Structure 1
Amino acid sequence: MRSFGCCRVVLATSLLWLLLDAFLLLFLSDCNKCDEKRERSLLPALRAVISRNQEGLGEMGKAVLIPKEEQEKMKELFKINQFNLLASDRIALNRSLPDVRLDGGGSGCLGKFPLSGKILPSDPWYRTGALDWNFRWEQSLLFLKFSPQGRESWFVLGYSLLIHLSCTGTQFLKAPLENYVKNLDVSIKILRMEQRSGLIRARLRGAAASKGQVITFLDAHCECTLGWLEPLLARIKEDRKTVVCPIIDVISDDTFEYMAGSDMTYGGFNWKLNFRWYPVPQREMDRRKGDRTLPVREAVAAPGSLAVSKARLEKPGMVGGQLPPCRSRGVWGRCCSTIPTFPLQIWQCGGSLEIVTCSHVGHVFRKATPYTFPGGTGHVINKNNRRLAEVWMDEFKDFFYIISPGVVRVDYGDVSARKALRERLRCKPFSWYLENVYPDSQIPRRYYSLGEIRNVETNQCLDNMGRKENEKVGFFNCHGMGGNQVFSYTADKEIRTDDLCLDVARLNGPVLMLKCHHLRGNQLWEYDAEKLTLRHLNSNQCLAEPSDEDRLVPTMRECGSGRSQQWLLRNMTLGA
């Protein structure tokens, strides 16, 4: 009787476990279909964006032209945010954009990243969008709702986080914005800074509040194309140490015309630490074996659009200090602001930075800023540049100080903690960065002199006069203050001023400043330390003092022994 009771207990327990197993199997089976159902429910929204009417203003990224009778109103509104608000307000919130990705069949971007399917199904992905405080909230939400999420599989995005940088004169970013967000069918959270703390600190605050494994930062004045996110996430999944950026396309601040950026340019900087776009070097094309859909290793990046693993972002020393946003960049790719600190930190401390060429994000590039910086724009930029140079550039900071002597007088605060952190993390020296990451940098790694080039006869110096590429090099009274009179005579026998080299294409000159091409030829000079002459090898003529016709430019003459052809190459140092 007792054994029969035991059997009943065993049978009842077994039956209970069978029922529990069946319930779990049914539950998990349904959950496995959740993402599939969600994907199917979102496909109509994606199709709506693709198939929408393309005849309206601004559709397919076309320019919006304002009639003559509204030009005055347009100019007045332009002053508010330094872009055409009238054109912006007349564009549909989910306007269509051209597909500007590289197409090479199955081997192109469209073959590698079709507009369907789920990327990284086991991971939750979140995006943090930085809201520029001085933008109208309607325009910002165009980018943050309809552009990133309307042109992407929504299950890849957990939510959008708008960061208000807490500035005066932005009442429309308070109650009106909160009321508008409540009525949206996507998850958007608003995070407000208690006081104005700068763009980078605001983004770090947003990153701390996010819960995803990958964070994507976008300026408020960005607009995303179809399929912009999957390539970024796929690359980070391959290598979590990599920070990735899309190709930055240009949105006109005058007409909101969408113009595709080039996959043949990448970020760099000059002696003044100004961000520049340069052609992708041949060494990088060779590394990718000619496949333009593969990521491009980038020396530095504009901070407006990037994606990073949250674990990487939270690594000690990843980001430090306060940086202003990029002031402006024209259609030709010139940026007036300082380079951010984080690219140097990424590379020197074990990570990498890449442009994912299959991802495109548009950016409104303004010619001026509608806001001010405490103490003035120049003061803030000089302070940040000085901190960057002191912590990360080692002895190469002299290039920056000599060509930008005003920076030396700026109080840059205490950076001892940053230096100690760099040492503790065993980050590589700046010379390693120049040798391995940015060998085509405009800062020469080997040079004979860095400073003024003084003529013995006149006691005057070569001077770039602030002139641009393809203009004549100047000649002026030596002032000993560096700046425009800083030239480097390199181990490659180039005479360089920033990213320009002295170039002579024919007998008797003129002496022009052209982009350094590193092919010797017209840019090859030989300095004789005994005769003090600078001989141009191609023409076999020597650099000489100016002629009577123009006393502000040097000349080329047959080499002789006179003092007019003698030059003193002096190294300069400015005490830091």
Structure 2
Amino acid sequence: MRRFVYCKVVLTTSLVWVLVDVFLLLYFSECNKCDDRKDRSLLPALRAVMSRTHEGPGEMGKAVIIPKEDQEKMKELFKINQFNLMASDMIALNRSLPDVRLDGCKTKVYPDDLPNTSIVIVFHNEAWSTLLRTVHSVINRSPRHLLVEILLVDDASERGRGNFMKLRGAAASRGQVITFLDAHCECTVGWLEPLLARIKEDRKAVVCPIIDVISDETFEYMAGSDMTYGGFNWKLNFRWYPVPQREMDRRKGDRTLPVRTPTMAGGLFSIDRSYFEEIGTYDPGMDIWGGENLEMSFRIWQCGGSLEIVTCSHVGHVFRKATPYSFPGGTGQVINKNNRRLAEVWMDEFKDFFYIISPGVVRVDYGDVSARKALREALQCKPFSWYLENIYPDSQIPRRYYSLGEIRNVETNQCVDNMGRKENEKVGFFNCHGMGGNQVFSYTADKEIRTDDLCLDVSRLNGPVVMLKCHHMKGNQMFEYDAERLTLLHVNSNQCLDMPSEEDKMVPTLRDCNGSRSQQWLLRNMTLSM
């Protein structure tokens, strides 16, 4: 088993060839199972990539097209890292990229006395071409006086220790600011100064760049949007959502100003070193990967800091459709443990909401959180209700609701079920199982029937009943529940929710209200069995 190592890249003018040799020597010295002859053959290949002009594949962020005769080999190589390794290896390590910044960002002038930064990059079984391209983009597009060092942290253990490795990298760094980057990124021109400038203004501001998309299939560089920010769904999965109007109003329409974001994606951000230590760095009890971004997001906001997307900073990231790594016990087990820890420490009574949606989480051993709770008390952090009210009022978690649980039909004893379906698909109807998950709906104080960020919606008489994004404007999404008659009246159509028709036995429908048992529904709050 290879042990953990980290390598500091010394920033010199003769770095170009040193980088290749440093990485290969690091790899050879730490690998006791590799074929030296095969691996050392990478050196001339990498040097060849280094020496390419800016006229080769992928320049200016353009897509790389693999010839038909190489398609089968490309597909095999894709499985190694879950991205097109052949395309990546064809692209120069210092490839050119377009300037995707807003025009207003290009003319901004930043102070001369910005804090300097250490760059921490944790990698595990990373492709050399993507890792080296990350490093080259940092060096080539960062002002020399702001860059103290780049720490390359090799997490090569079989288990993988993502959060632990980030902590090791941070502890070894010397910069006034710590900037974390993933190992398959490309920084664009002007990416660093706006991040450091915001931290100079407010040391408690934790800042993220706009994360642009590098295609996992073609390595095309595609500019991300400054009109999205980070949130999360009922299962505590990070999601991108449109920036709400209230945030546009706060910035008075100036899109070059940072966006206050409820959560961050997690792999790319800058933070003042001393502030990072003050707020408790990473939770060392979390395993590998997953949940740490929300845990840190909640902690920053609830404990007096701010979390922002600096729209004048752009960093590309290879987004993969699947992970190439295996986690001990399975990905779900690891993420459930981490999410349980963050829920227990930071979500107060709202943790029950999460547990009802994801009942399997409550059976996971999540370790000792007493130190994290003591940290919260020492920092005098605000409650999660404050976070929902002030930072994320458009959260998918309704703060006021009549019921949270199943919607059971009196006649059939079956339940409304989202069936794992997506937006603009019909809601389902299935045997009640009492296990939460897809049969958990919230009937809110706004008279919506919600499943996560989707609401039951009916646009015409007799249905169909579909799931559309909740718009909070009542209309087609407004249902009035009569607790005595047990009816759910769709106000716009003046019809009642009814059991499925003979034509489609898996989908509830609307019919004229007639008082029948098939139009009676029990809205039951689920309870936890811890």
Q: TM-score range by the shorter chain?
A: 0.7 to 0.9
Identity %: 74
- Structure 2 matches for 1:86-235, cutoff 5 A? 86-103=86-103, 108-113=104-109, 120-122=111-113, 125-144=116-135, 146-167=136-157, 198-235=161-198
Match of 1:380 in 2: 334
Q: Check the 8 A contact 2:78/2:85 in 1, yes or no.
A: yes
Q: Which residue of 2 aligns with 1:297?
A: 260
Q: Is 1:408 the counterpart of 2:372 in the alignment?
A: no
Quick one: distance in 2 between partners of 1:340 and 1:438? 13
Instruction: Give the CA deviation at 1:306.
Output: 0.3
Counterpart of 1:450 in 2: which secondary structure? Answer: strand
Matched with 2:30 is: none
SS of 2:403 mapped into structure 1: strand
User: Offset at 1:323?
Assistant: 4.7
Give SS of 1:71's match: helix
Distance 1:471 1:316 in 2: 43
1:80-114 deviations in Å (ceiling 9; x for gaps): 111111111111111111111111xxxx111115x
Question: What is the aligned partner in structure 1 of residue 437 from structure 2?
Answer: 483
2:122–2:162: 8 Å Cα contact kept in structure 1? no
Which amino acid is 1:156 matched to?
L
1:343 to 297, 308, 316: 297
SS in 2 for 1:205: helix
Quote how far apart the aligned CAs of 1:129 are: 2.4
Instruction: Give the secondary-structure state (helix, strand or coil) at the position aligned to 1:147.
Output: helix
Q: Which amino acid is the alignment partner of residue 151 of structure 1?
A: R
Is the 2:487–2:496 contact (alpha carbons within 8 Å) kept by the matching residues of 1?
yes
SS of the residue 1:569 aligns to: strand
1:78, 1:54 → 2: CA distance? 25
Partner of 2:68: 68
8 Å CA contact 1:543–1:554 kept in 2: the answer is yes
Q: Which residue of 1 aligns with 2:213?
A: 250
2:465 maps to a residue whose letter is V
- Identify the residue that residue 229 of structure 2 maps to in structure 1: 266
| 1:380-406 CA distance string (max 9 Å, x none) | 011111111111111111121111111
2:46 alignment counterpart: none
Instruction: Tell whether the 8 Å contact from 2:141 to 2:188 is kept in structure 1 after alignment.
Output: yes
Q: Deviations over 1:267-317 (max 9, x none)?
A: 110000011110111111111111111111101111111000001101143
- 2:43 paired residue number: none
Alignment partner of 1:322 out of 243, 267, 286: 286
Partner of 1:129, secondary structure, is: strand
Query: Aligned equivalents of 1:123 and 1:461: distance in 2?
Result: 59
Q: 1:251 to 1:486 in 2, by over 3 A?
A: same
Q: What is the identity, as a one-letter code, of the residue corresponding to 1:128?
A: I
Deviations 1:439-496 (A, max 9, x none): 0000000001000011111111100011000000001111111110000000111100
Alignment partners' CA distance in 1, 2:370 and 2:342: 12
Partner of residue 79, structure 1: 79
CA distance in 1, matches of 2:320, 2:54: 26
| 1:419-439 Cα deviation digits (max 9, x unpaired) | 222122211111000000000
Match of 1:468 among 398, 417, 422: 422
TM (norm. structure 2) is 0.88
Check whether the contact 1:317–1:345 (CA below 8 A) recurs between aligned residues. Answer: no
1:502 aligns to 2:456 (yes or no):
yes
Is the CA contact (8 Å cut-off) linking 2:122 and 2:165 kept in structure 1?
no
Q: Quote the offset at 1:74 in angstroms.
A: 1.1
Residue 246 of structure 1 and its aligned partner are, at CA, apart by 0.3
The 5 Å alignment of 1:271-290 reads 271-290=234-253
- For 1:83, the aligned partner's letter is F
Pick aligned residue for 2:411 from 431, 452, 457:
457
Q: Is 1:441 aligned to residue 395 of structure 2?
A: yes
Q: Give the whole-Å Cα distance in 2 for the aligned partners of 1:141 and 1:88.
A: 11
The answer to whether the 8 Å contact 1:199/1:322 transfers is: no
Q: Which amino acid aligns with 1:509?
A: G
Could you say if the C-alpha distance between residues 250 and 323 of structure 1 is closer, same or farther in structure 2, counting changes exceeding 3 Å?
A: farther
- Say whether the 8 Å CA contact 2:206–2:272 is kept in structure 1: yes
AA of the residue aligned to 1:464: N
CA distance in 2, matches of 1:123, 1:568: 61
Moved more, 67-76 or 263-272: 67-76
The two structures have a TM-score, normalised by structure 1, of 0.81
Q: For 1:149 and 1:479, locate their aligned partners in 2 and report how far apart those are by CA, in whole Å.
A: 56
> 1:309 corresponds to which residue?
272
Structure 2 unaligned runs (5+)?
Answer: 1-10, 16-51
Task: Give the letter for the 2:120 counterpart.
Answer: G
CA distance in 2, matches of 1:287, 1:124: 27
Separation in structure 2 between the aligned mates of residue 339 and residue 480 of structure 1, nearest angstrom = 31
Query: What CA distance in whole angstroms lies between the structure 2 residues aligned with 1:149 and 1:375?
Result: 38
- Cα distance per residue 1:54-73 (max 9 Å; x no partner): 53210110000110111121
Aligned to 2:476: 522
**Distance in 2 between the 1:285 and 1:554 partners?**
39
CA distance in 2, matches of 1:132, 1:522: 49
Maintained 8 Å contact 1:130/1:161: yes
Q: Distance in 2 between matches of 1:447 and 1:324?
A: 35
One-letter identity of the residue aligned with 2:74: M
Quote the offset at 1:339 in angstroms: 4.8
What is the aligned partner in structure 2 of residue 426 from structure 1? 380
Q: How many residues align?
A: 483
Counterpart of 2:147, as a letter, is L
Separation in structure 1 between the aligned mates of residue 495 and residue 279 of structure 2, nearest angstrom: 55
Aligned partner letter, 1:384:
N
- Which ranges in structure 1 are unaligned for 5 or more consecutive residues? 1-37, 43-51, 114-118, 169-195, 327-336
Q: CA RMSD in A?
A: 2.0
Whole-angstrom distance in 2 between the partners of 1:457 and 1:339: 45
- Contact 1:129–1:161 (CA under 8 A) maintained in structure 2: yes
The alpha carbon displacement at 1:378 in A equals 1.1
Q: How many angstroms apart in 2 are the aligned matches of 1:356 and 1:505?
A: 40
Distance 1:429 1:447 in 2: 19
Cα distance in structure 2, aligned partners of 1:469 and 1:522: 15
C-alpha contact 1:59 1:96 (8 A) present in aligned 2 = yes
Note the alpha carbon deviations across 1:105-148, whole angstroms, 9 max, x for none: xxx111115xxxxx55445512222232111334312211x201
Please name the residue that 1:193 is paired with. none
Partners of 2:161 and 2:339 lie apart in 1 by: 15
Instruction: Give, as a single letter, the amino acid of the residue that structure 2 aligns with 1:228.
Output: W
Would you say the 8 A contact 1:133–1:166 is kept in 2?
A: yes
Paired residues of 2:160 and 2:288 also in contact (CA < 8 A): no
C-alpha distance after superposition, 1:139-186 (max 9, x if no partner): 312211x20110121221111111111325xxxxxxxxxxxxxxxxxx
Paired residue type of 1:77: L
Work out the CA distance in 2 between the residues paired with 1:565 and 1:402: 26
Q: Distance in 2 between matches of 1:315 and 1:281?
A: 31
Preserved contact between residue 114 and residue 197 of structure 2 (Cα < 8 Å)? no
